Amino acid sequence: MPTISIYHHDLEHLLGRSIALHELEAWLPLVKGEIKDHVPATGELRIELQDSNRPDLWCVEGIARQIRAALQQQPVTYSFFSQKPRIRRRIRVMPGLETVRPFVVACCARGYTITEDSLTQLIQAQEKLADLYGHKRWTVSIGLYRLAAIRFPVTYGLVKPDEVRFVPLGFTEKLTLGEILSIHPKGQEYGEILAGHTSLPLLWDQEGQVLSFPPIINSQDLGEVKPGDTELMVEVTGTDLRMVLLTLNIFAVNLADRGATIEPIDIVYPWTTEWGRTLRTPFTINQIQRISVHAIEAALGVPLGAEAIQQALAAYGYDVKASRHTLAVRLPPYRQDVMHQVDVAEDVAISRGYNSFTPLMPAQFTVGGLSSVERLSDHVRDLMIGAGFQEIFSNILMSREDLLSRMNLPDTPETAVLEIENVMSHNYSCLRSWIIPSLLRVESASSRSFYPHRLFEVGEVAIPDSTQENGSLTLTKLGALVAHPAANFSEVHTTLDMLLYYLLTPYILEPIPHPSFLEGRAGRIIWNTCQIGLIGELHPAVLEAWHVEKPVAVFELNLDTLCQRWAQEGLGVIP
């Protein structure tokens, strides 16, 4: 979702009319845009654009174009996509690039004088497209050049890292490609894209002048565009021919909108691409698609009729012809985002305006309800609250120390805890495997709150489990904690006993040694030979590790196990 910066007067210039801010706001749903910021002094508008499949809208020209179609109720058309060039210019692609960076496309834009403002917009579009649509230049990168200095034909080929030297943008000395990768800021930033290749892509002209080292950097000599320049070449390289073509088309229509004459360049490949060996770019790959009127009407829930749909699509930029039951539609060259007829249906809705559709309440009757573990959770929460416990609600990412060493448990590499690989903060690096550490986190931070502290939390934990599809098991557990100067095992035992009485669960406690608890004051909670929980008085070493200065007794109950046992015992579903 890019946010771009545009100028009010520039937008008005491209629209060919003035537009008030509130008027613009009313048009912005057409481009899924929202004004984030407005500086009245300079006329600067910061606009956030939502649709990641519509890179043509990530620039002022694209926004203006979509509004123009709506204003004139018909698409903005461009003739240069099907025109023969007056002068033939060529780029030859050398073999070997298939495995490095296979595709290049390009065109010329003449007769428009670049201004300070339009250059800023051009560079912004270049950055947003290469960064977001082109995945930080991995799949698409863009170069702009001063056309007059280039001697055609141009070659797109491979060279060794130390074979050629040229002055990269922002430098005054010639560097080899290897040197650019190691010392130029762009080389350091994007060099990874070419990692592992012994030969590197390069564009040079007939006289051997280097245009650029894609996707890293342009040459200073040919690739520095300035205000006042009137003749440009735009070139796009990448790994996906469709994306590369779309990017070039967007630049071509943007420059045409500003008054430039677009002239194509022939790209000659040594292999056959999806569209042949020689591509005259820019060109559109979009075909006419047949879409049923009924499908659109069914999706939108309104019998609009072919004519109204045709009108809506034309006003949204489509090339469209309607018959009674079918629409022949073709997307404009600067779009490739229709994968399914539902995409066309949305465009009809956007073009007509979402708020022009009358909402209809879903009429079919359904029964609402909760999962059995949620019902058990709510039941348990009510009982705990009745017993005087304050409910706690915690983050469930914690640190490994919280779950293990602070609980006096051994922390060896084999200790199974679900840990994050790409950790953002050490404090939130593991999914909790039990609730007690979450409650101790509260106890540890709350010595100033008056005692007694009686806390509980019903929540999810996750543990590794190789028998499960996802290699882990998410469980819902109850944890309870009592802390005050006289807190002890008996007190939590009483609460547990009350709870399991009301949960119709006869249980026994089986003493166990457990490093988190005082010896002789810890036990497993067993129901019919099945462990359903744990109870005990916390070991002073645990309290010290959490900086807790009152005795603490706790228990934990596995509500998922309890739920399953209920079903197995034929007790039915939890009330």
Partner 1 sequence: MDRSTLSESLHPLEIQVLAAFSPSDHVLSDQHLHERCQLDSSQLSMAVGWLVAKQLLEIKSETVTFWVSLTDRGKEYLTRGSPPRWILHMAEEAEQAGRHLTIPVLLDAGQFEPTEISRAIGALKKEGAIRLGAGGVIERTGQPSPTAEALETLLERVRDQAQDLLTLPSVLQAVARQYAVKRGNPQEPFRIEERIHREYRLTPLGRSVAVACQPGVGEEEISQLTPELLKDGAWRTKRFRKYTIQLRPPRTAVGRRHPYREFLDQVKFKLISMGFQEMRGPLVETEFWDMDALFMPQFHPARAIHDVYFVKYPSHAGHIPEPFLSQVAAAHEHGGGTGSTGWRYTYDRERARRLILRSQGTAVSARTLAHHPAIPGKYFSIARCFRYDQVDATHATDFFQVEGIVLGEDITFRTLLGLLTLFAREMAHAQESRFLPAYFPFTEPSVELHVRHPQLGWMELGGAGLFRPEVTHPLGVTVPVIAWGLGLDRMAMIALGLHDIRDLFTADLEKIRSMRRRLF
Residue 393 contacts partner 1 per CB under 8 A: yes
Residue 346 contacts partner 1 per CB under 8 A: yes
Q: Which stretch binds partner 1 (CB under 8 A): 103-111, 225-233, 311-319, 447-455?
A: 447-455
Shortest distance, position 525 Cβ to partner 1, whole Å: 21
Joined tokens for residue 288: 């006419």
CA 339 to chain centre: 19
At 367, the amino acid letter reads V
Residue 300 contacts partner 1 per CB under 8 A: yes
Residue 19 contacts partner 1 per CB under 8 A: no
- Given the complex with partner 1, which of 212 and 377 has the nearer CB atom? 377
- Chain positions 234 to 293 lying near partner 1, rule: CB under 8 A, are 242
Which of 185, 452, 506, 540: binder of partner 1 (CB under 8 A)?
Answer: 452
Strands 430-431 and 276-281, how do they pair? unpaired
The number of C-alpha atoms within 13 Å of 234 and in the hemisphere containing its C-beta is: 31
- Given the complex with partner 1, which of 120 and 405 has the nearer CB atom? 405
| Distance (Å, whole) CA 47 – CA 67 | 15
Positive or negative CA dihedral for 383, 389, 394, 400?
Answer: negative
Phi/psi region, residue 61 (left: phi>0; alpha: psi -120 to 50; beta: rest), is alpha
Residue 163 contacts partner 1 per CB under 8 A: no
Shortest distance, position 150 Cβ to partner 1, whole Å: 33
- Chain positions 398 to 427 lying near partner 1, rule: CB under 8 A, are 418-422, 424-425
- Given the complex with partner 1, which of 139 and 505 has the nearer CB atom? 139
Residue 309 contacts partner 1 per CB under 8 A: no
- Chain positions 481 to 540 lying near partner 1, rule: CB under 8 A, are none
- Given the complex with partner 1, which of 375 and 524 has the nearer CB atom? 375
| Distance (Å, whole) CA 202 – CA 212 | 6
Q: Give the angle subtended at the CA of 352 by the CAs of 346 and 356, to the nearest 5°.
A: 105
Residue 155 contacts partner 1 per CB under 8 A: no
Shortest distance, position 337 Cβ to partner 1, whole Å: 10
| Distance (Å, whole) CA 420 – CA 438 | 18
Which of 9, 17, 37, 52: binder of partner 1 (CB under 8 A)?
Answer: 52
Joined tokens for residue 54: 């519509």
Q: Which residues partner with 291 through β-bridges?
A: 327
Of 349, 315, 342, 319, which Cα lies nearest the Cα of 66? 315
Q: Give the angle subtended at the CA of 95 by the CAs of 94 and 99, to the nearest 5°.
A: 115
Shortest distance, position 348 Cβ to partner 1, whole Å: 9
Joined tokens for residue 120: 């800023």
Shortest distance, position 457 Cβ to partner 1, whole Å: 8
Which of 360, 410, 485, 529: binder of partner 1 (CB under 8 A)?
Answer: 360
- Chain positions 453 to 472 lying near partner 1, rule: CB under 8 A, are 453-455, 460, 462, 464, 466, 469-472
Do residues 545 and 408 touch, judged by C-beta distance below 8 A?
A: yes
Which of 79, 99, 198, 366: binder of partner 1 (CB under 8 A)?
Answer: 366
Residue 22 contacts partner 1 per CB under 8 A: no
- Given the complex with partner 1, which of 44 and 240 has the nearer CB atom? 240
Which of 112, 213, 283, 389: binder of partner 1 (CB under 8 A)?
Answer: 389
- Given the complex with partner 1, which of 54 and 146 has the nearer CB atom? 54
Shortest distance, position 440 Cβ to partner 1, whole Å: 10
Residue 302 contacts partner 1 per CB under 8 A: yes
Q: Give the angle subtended at the CA of 357 by the CAs of 352 and 360, to the nearest 5°.
A: 160
| Residue 15: CB atoms within 10 Å | 18
- Chain positions 25 to 44 lying near partner 1, rule: CB under 8 A, are 29-30, 32
Q: Applying CB under 8 A, what is the total number of residues that bind partner 1? A: 94
Joined tokens for residue 430: 């593991």
Q: Give the angle subtended at the CA of 329 by the CAs of 249 and 128, to the nearest 5°.
A: 30
| Distance (Å, whole) CA 393 – CA 456 | 9
Sheet of 3-7, strands arranged across: 3-7, 44-49, 33-39
Sheet of 326-330, strands arranged across: 289-292, 326-330, 319-322
Of 417, 445, 411, which Cα lies nearest the Cα of 431? 417
Shortest distance, position 94 Cβ to partner 1, whole Å: 26
- Given the complex with partner 1, which of 207 and 450 has the nearer CB atom? 450
Residues in Cβ contact with 422 at an 8 Å cutoff, skipping those fewer than 6 apart: none
Shortest distance, position 35 Cβ to partner 1, whole Å: 13
- Chain positions 191 to 230 lying near partner 1, rule: CB under 8 A, are none
Q: Give the angle subtended at the CA of 340 by the CAs of 338 and 343, to the nearest 5°.
A: 60
Of 458, 480, 459, 440, which Cα lies nearest the Cα of 396? 459
**DSSP assignment letter at 168:** B
Residue 99 contacts partner 1 per CB under 8 A: no
Q: Which stretch binds partner 1 (CB under 8 A): 36-44, 45-53, 183-191, 205-213?
A: 45-53
Residue 369 contacts partner 1 per CB under 8 A: yes
Per DSSP, the three-state class of 501 is helix
Do residues 480 and 391 touch, judged by C-beta distance below 8 A?
A: no
- Chain positions 119 to 148 lying near partner 1, rule: CB under 8 A, are 132, 135, 139
Which of 44, 51, 319, 401: binder of partner 1 (CB under 8 A)?
Answer: 51
Which of 246, 373, 482, 574: binder of partner 1 (CB under 8 A)?
Answer: 373
Which of 428, 498, 524, 564: binder of partner 1 (CB under 8 A)?
Answer: 428
Which of 196, 359, 513, 572: binder of partner 1 (CB under 8 A)?
Answer: 359
Shortest distance, position 559 Cβ to partner 1, whole Å: 12
